[in-house]
Structure 1
Amino acid sequence: MGRTGVHKTDVEKARNSIIAQGRHPSVDAVRIALGNTGSKTTISKYLRELEAESGGPVDRKTSISAALQNLVAQLAAQLEIEASSRIADISMESGEKDRQHSAEIEEVTAKHTQVKEKLDLTIAAIKQEIESHEQTNEALQKETMAHHTLAQQVIDLKERLAENDVHRQSLEEKHQHSRDALEHYRTSVKEQRDQDIRSHEQQVQQLQAELRQLQQTLVTKQNEITRLNQDGARWVAEISQAQKTIYDEQTSHRKLSSQIDALRAIEQRAKVLEPQLAEKDIKIKELETLLHQSVTASNSQKEQIHKMEVEQASAIAKIEAQQIMMVELRSLFASRITLGGGGAASDLPGK
């Protein structure tokens, strides 16, 4: 049994049917009769066995031409089998090469895609870096302007704070003077009272005679006490106002301290941004250097191409001039030969 499941009896039946139709039982004819099934090698083997069993060709009484035709058919079948095998091998090799070429093309395409993606990423990174640099510059300019504004505000606030300190010191001095005056008043009143008591104890006997005068003196003293009390109340009001002013100045001083702390934070942020800006400036300078080198190389190539074009035009002009000279020389040489024979060749230019 063949590998494809075709039996020798099936091949024999198909062969006999073809012979009965008056056709040559070739491998292809038998395979077609079998319904395009079976291996050509198996069918050819069975055909050779059947011919060997039948003692040669199908009809022993056929002529020599028929035998030759049979032999040619067998050779053709053998050649067809070998050709089919060779074609199958070539097809396999070609398929393998095609797969290798396809793999190489896919690899090259993948590399090209990767390079293109890297280039696109690089260009995008450069654009993003430039945009980031511009944004950083804008941020730095804004921070610089804000820094200058806040610095001026700090200077103004410091001046106001100094003025407030001076005013506060002045109010404290007035407050201290008021305290001193009030203490002096209290001391003087106490001393005066002590003195009056001592004088009263010493001059008890003279009080009756001087009662009227002392009453007047007492009225005067009471008026002075009233005036001093009024002055004391006024000084107390001024001291309260001074304390309120000092409290307001302390509140303003705390606000100024908060603003100064915010300004210090902004200065720290500006110091952090300055190294980043410097690093981005270095990257941009490197990119500009690469761009300048590329432009320089492109200009050099353009100059070389222009030089080569000039040299090519000059060479073409020389060739055309030489061709014209050759035509003239040939014409002159032909005319000399016509007029004077072979000796005219010595009159050619350059001879």
Structure 2
Amino acid sequence: MARGGINKALVKEACTALLQRGRRPSIDAVRIELGNTGSKTTIARYLKEIQAVPSSAVLSPQERVSAPLLAVVASLSEQLAQEAEVTLIHEREQFAAERTDLRTNLSQRTRELEQAQMQIHDVAAELAQARAQNETLCTQLVAEQQLTATLQAKVQELRTQLAEKQNQLQTLNETSAHARESLLHFREASKEQRDTLLHQHEQQVQQVEQQLRAVARILDSKQDDVVGLSRDNERLTSELVASRKQTQHEERQVDQLTQQLAERGHAQDQINARLIRLSSQLERATARNDVLQQTHTSTLLENERLQQRLLELEARQP
């Protein structure tokens, strides 16, 4: 970057001075002539422009301008150089301040970088720990997933069983509803039947009272029958006793014949025939005995029934 005050006029003036002293106006010579100021690049550019001007145009300052004008130009050049020097000093101070700030910032950034590296180290340790925990959690997750799958299977099985139980419950509810309906119908039918039976009972009671009155009227006529039945009962009892004795006698004969049959095998046919006869007689006697027993039982029951009616009628009479 060229310093302030270095321009084409100053470079041209330095070239002229060097030529007047018999020296070649090189870049270094011009820069030394200018007081070691100015950028070599800028001086080289100005030298190239000056050298590009035709030789007829290269004249001395005394031939082209007057002395007062050259003095003004020189004064302005000196003033510009001073101002450029002040600006340069200010720029250097500003650059030094900026460099100090940059170094301070660099130190701060270095400390921050160290802290960041320490944090990175801590984060790396935490990351390793987190990865270990993640692996543990992954293992636990796999176990939990397996357990979840098992539980889901059990839940599905329980849901199936629940559905079956619900179907059974629905069936039971339907059956219960039918049973309740049947019970209601049964109750209604029972009530109707009970009412009917009660009405029939009242009618039967009336009929029985009528019958009792009729029985009371014919009770006197039945007294003789009762006496006769009592006599018949005594007679049948005697016959029953005799029949039992006859039956026992025949049973003893059968036993004797059976014993004789065991002892006398040669008389088997005769004994069998006699045994058949005795068995027939025994069956007839047993049948007669049963008939007499039934007759006796019927007579006793009829007698008891008549006596009970008689007692009831006597109890109802005022």
- TM over 0.5: same fold? no
Query: What's the TM-score, normalizing by structure 1?
Result: 0.25
Please tell me whether Structure 1 or Structure 2 has the larger radius of gyration of its CA atoms.
2
What TM-score, normalized by structure 2, do the two folds share?
0.28
